[in-house]
Structure 1
Amino acid sequence: MSATPPTMTKGSTTGDPGNAPASGGDGLKAGLKNRHLSMIAIGGVIGAGLFVGSASGIAAAGPGILISYALVGAMVVFVMRMLGEMAAANPTSGSFSAYADKALGRWAGFTIGWLYWFFWVVVLAVEATAGAKILHGWVPAVPQWGWALIVMVVLTATNLASVSSYGEFEFWFAGIKVVAIAAFVVIGLLAVFGVLPGSDNPGNGFDFLTSHGGFLPHGPGAILTGVLMVVFSFMGSEIVTLAAGESEDPQRAVTQATNSVIWRIAVFYLGSILVVVSLLPWDSKEIAEKGSYVAALDSIGIPHAGQIMNVIVLTAVLSCLNSGLYTASRMAFSLGQRGDAPKVFSKVNARGVPAAAILGSVVFGFISVGFNYLWPDTVFKFLLNSSGAVALFVWLVICITQLKMRGVILREMPEKLVVRMWLFPYLTWATIGMIVFVLGYMVVDGGDNREQVLLSTLVGVLVLAIGLVLDKRRQAAAKAVTAAE
């Protein structure tokens, strides 16, 4: 593909419902079935952070953490609606990076694409280590680093085999998460109202929401603290728009995922956290010591609650690893196609898999895992903090891109505007304001939050500078060719 930003032409078959080719014009196979995309969409918003990190959010904000989750959830719903508008019109493996390339310029697509890739290769190290810790607890004969290696190798092989094998693994990983949380919400609510047979919980209804210092025991300001603690657990909801380009019916998949994001967040995040803070007082030592979900299951009297949650958390970790590797490789593939990454990343093998992009991402993932074991408090902490605010940067770029892309879609392919952002452009601007406010509050809040924003900004500026230099060289080379002709 030439260095010219991607165009959105009416003649493209990509995105036409029912007309997905056996392999896309970019060489990727349309190997993801609708059931794969549906489960990727549903499970994409359920990260391991929901299970592992919710206890600290509850401790910081009390029952008011529900408002924090609702605010971040609303922000994600709006961002996904904007991204869905663009992706339904033109599904592509580059997703928001490719749209930013067209709407804002090469510098924007280059910068956000590489930052997003960087974010996911660091996540690979985090999740591989988390999964290895659980597996080592079960089988201590294998060292923790050995489990991390095994997990990475197995999922790399899965992604290299074919896109359908990635989809099948993710279908089952996500399915387990979805069934587990749905069962938790149903069983938990029955216990809350005292109608669950054999429950050890007294079933106080929603009394615990206000009985221990009120709904906001630490004051309204704790809601914003809670926002900072939960915002990153939502990262991953955009994966379905990258995967849609390799599906049988991209436009339908994106439309369904976008339309269903509201109930997914309401049930899986708000519903499950509501159950936790209704079954136990927010300040109970059980939540702090065992974790929110294990403590809730223990309060009901579910035997082996800790091991049950370990299985679910391991599934979430493997799902995140699987999708993280897929996402990083597809972003690298798209950058390679646009001339913003080594050309070899844009090559696909006979199975329609971008093997070089996958292996390139895995190599950096392995390096990050090594840093996590060798220098966890120095080098790896720097990598973690320097990628920490990337999620918010990505969402911000999606919003700004959508402001411009609406006009492009209306001009070039109005019939493909099947998903529309609500109250455009006012709600888009409001979402931009929300994201900027969160970033600003992270700086004011201090500590790791400030460090994450500042280091992520520093890395972003460095990537942007590289992108601008490369773009100037390309323009100079193009002028030289023109002059020679």
Structure 2
Amino acid sequence: MALGSAIGTGLFYGSSAAIQAAGPAVLFAYMIGGAAVFIVMRAMGEMAVKHPVSGSFAHYASRYLGRFAGFITGWTFTFEMAIVAIADVTAFGVYMGFWFPDVATWIWVLAVVLLIAAINLMKVKVFGETEFWLAIVKVSAIIAMIGGGIALIIFGFNAPDAQTATGIDTLMAAGTLFPNGFIGLLLSFAVVMFAFGGIETIGITAGEADDPSRSVPAAINTVPWRILLFYVASLAVIMMLFDWRQIDGSASPFVQIFDALGIPAAAHVLNAVVITAAVSAINADTFGAGRMLFAMSAEGHAPKSFAKVSSNGVPWMTVLVMTFVLLVGVVLNALLPEKLFTIIASIATFATVWVWIMILASYLAMRRAEKKEAAAASQGPREYAVPGGSATAWIAMAFMVFIVVLLALSAETRVALYTGVAWLAILAVVYRFAVRGTSGDPSADGRERDSEAVSTGR
């Protein structure tokens, strides 16, 4: 599930904007950002192993920071998934334009929205199998692309109009790893962190996993090598194959590069792969948002209708809500086909980083509570813990706050701050007048909710 959401549009399409901003230095951005995200995932994993519940990190925010924090976290994650899904369907339309340039983008966007709605209304088992095979396709393709790219570099294959030989010479075509200076590296973080958005979906699945104490740590512990392989290695290879300065965002950089290398078959195969990746990401985003809304309805943080489950064990109302949101994406693609992706990506970055900050804040509050209550400290396994404990979590927290500040440096991403502040203000008003004082079990009093009661289909 985490692969489905995190390895998609941010890598296959959004990486073009990151490369344009930072050049080869974008590799450092992915490594630094990936390290911070790994700490966030370990913090969430430590909490999920102790308290496996559906909608986990919103539950932890309620438990350790208060109901309002849980409300903000749950709805902001839902907002994140909705915005990311709109970005994904936008990219899907761009990918289809590689084959059908004369067909309006919004037509393809509408088609994929209807497909995703149908998949998410099926049984969870069918959804899981679909997502598994979609993820297998894109993961296998990335590995094959890296292997094929390395072979092209070793055997000295060059593009017909290449000015430099493939390899380090092409990577260093601008004469430096930092062609746009340190500021270029900083600006790239807005898109880089967007690429990692959705990986926290691991926590959403904790309440439905058969053995979360085993499966959640196993998934999280693979994050570092996945980042090195899927992001750093793949982008390093494509920037050694083709002058990165010619990447223009008109298509996936993966497709554009192999097309420019005079290997049209490879370009078409990769375009099919990135389309598969987009469908996988939209699928995972819709699942994540739906399950969070379902969990929040049990908290009293969302309408009770979101807890309605179909005969297939699916919270169908949440699927319909996400489908409506994606249909809004269809309209936006018809009105703003050229500018939509950058705007949406920056807004999604704000929402993503905010959720990560709340995960870290919940973790730090949990550690403080355990220190105050010796009995609580002995409950649950401690063998799966954040490396470095609270000190590392504070460093990751400072980095995430820094990313939010960076959004103000560019006029294109500054809209994310305005939208983010407005979103939080709206949530505060809604909580004050519609949620505060209502009945529900926020678990802020420390009581454990039976995970079976909030697990979909159980």
Q: TM-score range by the shorter chain?
A: 0.7 to 0.9
Q: Distance in 2 between matches of 1:389 and 1:227?
A: 11
| Alpha-carbon spacing, 1:135–1:427, altered in 2? closer, same or farther (3 Å) | same
Q: Distance in 2 between matches of 1:243 and 1:251?
A: 12
1:28-61 CA-partner distances (Å, limit 9, x unpaired): xxxxxxxxxxxx3444431212111222322222
Q: State whether residues 193 and 203 of structure 1, in contact with CA within 8 Å, keep that contact through their aligned partners in structure 2.
A: no
Matched, 1:438 2:399: no
Matches within 5 A, 1:52-451: 52-135=13-96, 138=99, 144-194=105-155, 204-210=166-172, 212-283=174-245, 285=246, 291-298=252-259, 301-374=262-335, 387-407=348-368, 411=376, 414-443=379-408, 445-451=409-415
Q: State whether residues 120 and 324 of structure 1, in contact with CA within 8 Å, keep that contact through their aligned partners in structure 2.
A: yes
| Alpha-carbon spacing, 1:281–1:115, altered in 2? closer, same or farther (3 Å) | same
| Alpha-carbon spacing, 1:455–1:289, altered in 2? closer, same or farther (3 Å) | closer
| Alpha-carbon spacing, 1:211–1:185, altered in 2? closer, same or farther (3 Å) | same
The AA in structure 1 aligned to 2:239 is V
- 1:432 deviates by 0.7
Which shifted more, 298-307 or 344-353? 298-307
Q: State whether residues 60 and 362 of structure 2, in contact with CA within 8 Å, keep that contact through their aligned partners in structure 1.
A: yes
Matched, 1:47 2:8: yes
| Alpha-carbon spacing, 1:472–1:324, altered in 2? closer, same or farther (3 Å) | closer
Q: Distance in 2 between matches of 1:139 and 1:281?
A: 26
The AA in structure 2 aligned to 1:243 is T
Paired position in structure 2 for 1:460: 424
The AA in structure 2 aligned to 1:405 is M
Q: Distance in 2 between matches of 1:411 and 1:372?
A: 51
| Alpha-carbon spacing, 1:271–1:287, altered in 2? closer, same or farther (3 Å) | farther
Q: State whether residues 49 and 381 of structure 2, in contact with CA within 8 Å, keep that contact through their aligned partners in structure 1.
A: yes
- 1:341 deviates by 0.8
Q: State whether residues 192 and 205 of structure 1, in contact with CA within 8 Å, keep that contact through their aligned partners in structure 2.
A: yes
| Alpha-carbon spacing, 1:131–1:380, altered in 2? closer, same or farther (3 Å) | closer
The AA in structure 2 aligned to 1:437 is F
Q: Distance in 2 between matches of 1:126 and 1:111?
A: 22
| Alpha-carbon spacing, 1:79–1:214, altered in 2? closer, same or farther (3 Å) | same
Q: Distance in 2 between matches of 1:51 and 1:378?
A: 18
Q: Distance in 1 between matches of 2:206 and 2:404?
A: 30
| Alpha-carbon spacing, 1:473–1:424, altered in 2? closer, same or farther (3 Å) | same
Which shifted more, 426-435 or 291-300? 291-300
TM-score (normalizing by structure 2): 0.85
| Alpha-carbon spacing, 1:94–1:46, altered in 2? closer, same or farther (3 Å) | same
TM-score (normalizing by structure 1): 0.81
- 1:238 deviates by 1.1
Which shifted more, 139-148 or 52-61? 139-148
The AA in structure 2 aligned to 1:192 is I
Q: State whether residues 115 and 387 of structure 1, in contact with CA within 8 Å, keep that contact through their aligned partners in structure 2.
A: no
Which shifted more, 90-99 or 41-50? 41-50
Which shifted more, 369-378 or 156-165? 369-378
Percent identical residues: 33
Structure 2 residue ranges without an equivalent (≥5): 440-458
The AA in structure 1 aligned to 2:325 is F
- 1:355 deviates by 1.5
Q: Distance in 2 between matches of 1:279 and 1:96?
A: 41
Q: Distance in 2 between matches of 1:103 and 1:287?
A: 46
- 1:306 deviates by 3.1
The AA in structure 2 aligned to 1:87 is A
Q: Distance in 1 between matches of 2:47 and 2:82?
A: 25
| Alpha-carbon spacing, 1:213–1:375, altered in 2? closer, same or farther (3 Å) | closer
Q: State whether residues 54 and 291 of structure 2, in contact with CA within 8 Å, keep that contact through their aligned partners in structure 1.
A: yes
Q: State whether residues 25 and 177 of structure 2, in contact with CA within 8 Å, keep that contact through their aligned partners in structure 1.
A: yes
Which shifted more, 372-381 or 244-253? 372-381
Q: Distance in 2 between matches of 1:137 and 1:204?
A: 25
Q: Distance in 2 between matches of 1:393 and 1:118?
A: 11
Q: State whether residues 57 and 230 of structure 1, in contact with CA within 8 Å, keep that contact through their aligned partners in structure 2.
A: yes
CA RMSD of aligned residues (A): 3.1
Which shifted more, 139-148 or 303-312? 139-148
The AA in structure 2 aligned to 1:184 is M
Secondary structure of 1:389's match? Answer: helix
Q: Distance in 1 between matches of 2:232 and 2:148?
A: 15
Structure 1 residue ranges without an equivalent (≥5): 1-39, 476-485
Q: Distance in 1 between matches of 2:114 and 2:198?
A: 22
Q: State whether residues 87 and 344 of structure 2, in contact with CA within 8 Å, keep that contact through their aligned partners in structure 1.
A: no
Q: State whether residues 120 and 287 of structure 2, in contact with CA within 8 Å, keep that contact through their aligned partners in structure 1.
A: yes
